[in-house]
């Protein structure tokens, strides 16, 4: 039972606030999930500054039809995040304008594709048949409850991830993504450097495969199936830290498993380290089991070997 709905127009403002809070909460979760340091409430002021390039506080208040003290509060919040810079007006030296800082521009580039998806998904929630305004709100509340905005956006983000085959032009991304991951958790071993520096020679030409995950035309993850003569090794999986949270690694691994089955291989093998608990748990979840690790493994860091029968 929803008591607020029973109150009809009497609870009009309360229902709008409840709906707004629910949507804001979901968008905030999206930003946090994607590692973007931003608050949904900052969007109107931030986007206005972005659209106008340079603008003063009074002009922002006028355009958004909110008070200057409210705008100033949003400005302070944005400045704390170092997303704005102050510029002297070219015509009036006494006047100070606001513009996006270098960090603000970087954040904007990350936010723009997310905003597009948010707009699309909000349209799917709010586009109801013409009816009374209260019934329209009821339908919107119902859609938000059944399929929250957070889930809608995350599902669409995952749909935007494409798996593509190796091309020579992606060699730099293959190297950079892997080195970034290795330096974060371990170090780059001689075997790593040899393979990563020339993937065509050491993987492709030897009957191996390299795949990439592509998001908004950007390479954001990679994985390889290396022909080790006696078995194929699932290796060199790395995902850009900016996009961790979209389960790109899992999508790449699932793609490799399905690909291996189509090749009619008996099994695939991987090497890992026990400190990588989330990864080990994921491997076990999809069907890898621990097998004996040889003493002369080609990785100094590996302390666990796992195999999946296909």
Domains identified in the chain and CATH numbers: 3-159 (1.10.10.10), 161-309 (3.40.630.30)
pLDDT of residue 3: 86
DSSP class of residue 252? H
What pLDDT does residue 181 have? 86
Q: What is the pLDDT of residues 233-261, one digit of tens each?
A: 998 888 888 787 778 888 899 999 999 99
Q: What distance in Å separates the CA atoms of residue 64 and residue 62, rounded to the nearest whole number?
A: 6
Structure tokens at 213: 């995950």
Two tokens, residue 176: 């950079």
CB 239, CB 249: distance < 8 Å: yes
**What pLDDT score does 132 carry?**
66
State residue 21's pLDDT score.
92
Cα→Cα distances 305→23, 184, 264, 298, 308, Å? 45, 21, 22, 12, 11
Give residue 28's pLDDT: 94
Is residue 194 within 8 Å of residue 236, measured between CB atoms? no
What is the structure's pLDDT at 10?
81
Quote the DSSP letter at residue 66: -
Tell which residue, 255, 159, 149, 152, has the closest CA to residue 216.
159
Rg value, the chain, Cα: 25
Rounded distance between C-alpha atoms, residue 126 and residue 45, angstroms: 23
Residue 35's pLDDT is 86
User: Looking at residue 174, what DSSP letter applies?
Assistant: H
211 has which bridge partners? 165, 223
The parts of the chain modelled with pLDDT lower than 50 are: none
* Cβ–Cβ under 8 Å, residues 251 and 245: no
């Amino acid at each position: 039972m929803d008591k607020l709905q029973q109150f009809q127009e009497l609870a009009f403002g309360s229902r709008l606030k409840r709906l707004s809070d629910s949507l804001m909460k979901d968008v905030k979760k999206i930003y946090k999930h994607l590692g973007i340091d931003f608050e949904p409430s900052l969007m109107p002021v931030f986007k206005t500054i972005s659209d106008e390039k340079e603008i003063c506080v009074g002009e922002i208040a006028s355009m958004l039809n909110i008070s200057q003290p409210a705008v100033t509060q949003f400005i302070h919040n944005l400045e704390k995040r170092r997303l704005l810079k102050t510029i002297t007006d070219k015509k009036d030296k006494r006047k100070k304008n606001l513009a996006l800082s270098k960090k603000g521009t970087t954040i904007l580039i990350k936010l723009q594709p997310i905003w597009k998806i948010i707009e699309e998904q909000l349209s799917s929630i709010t586009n109801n048949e013409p009816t009374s305004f209260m019934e329209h709100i009821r339908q919107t509340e119902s859609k938000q409850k059944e399929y929250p905005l957070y889930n809608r956006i995350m599902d669409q983000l995952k749909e935007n991830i494409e798996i593509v085959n190796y091309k020579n032009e992606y060699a730099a991304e293959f190297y950079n993504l892997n080195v970034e991951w290795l330096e974060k958790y371990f170090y780059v071993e001689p075997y790593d450097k040899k393979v990563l520096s020339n993937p065509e020679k050491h993987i492709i030409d030897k009957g191996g495969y390299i795949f990439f995950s592509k998001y908004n035309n950007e390479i954001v993850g990679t994985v390889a199936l290396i022909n080790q003569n006696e078995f194929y090794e699932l290796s060199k999986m790395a995902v850009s830290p900016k996009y961790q949270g979209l389960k790109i690694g899992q999508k790449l691994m699932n793609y490799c498993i399905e690909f291996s089955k189509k090749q009619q291989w008996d099994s695939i093998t991987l090497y890992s380290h026990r400190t990588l608990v989330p990864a080990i748990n994921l491997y076990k979840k999809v069907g890898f089991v621990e097998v004996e690790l040889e003493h002369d493994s080609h990785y100094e860091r590996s302390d666990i070997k796992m195999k999946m029968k296909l």
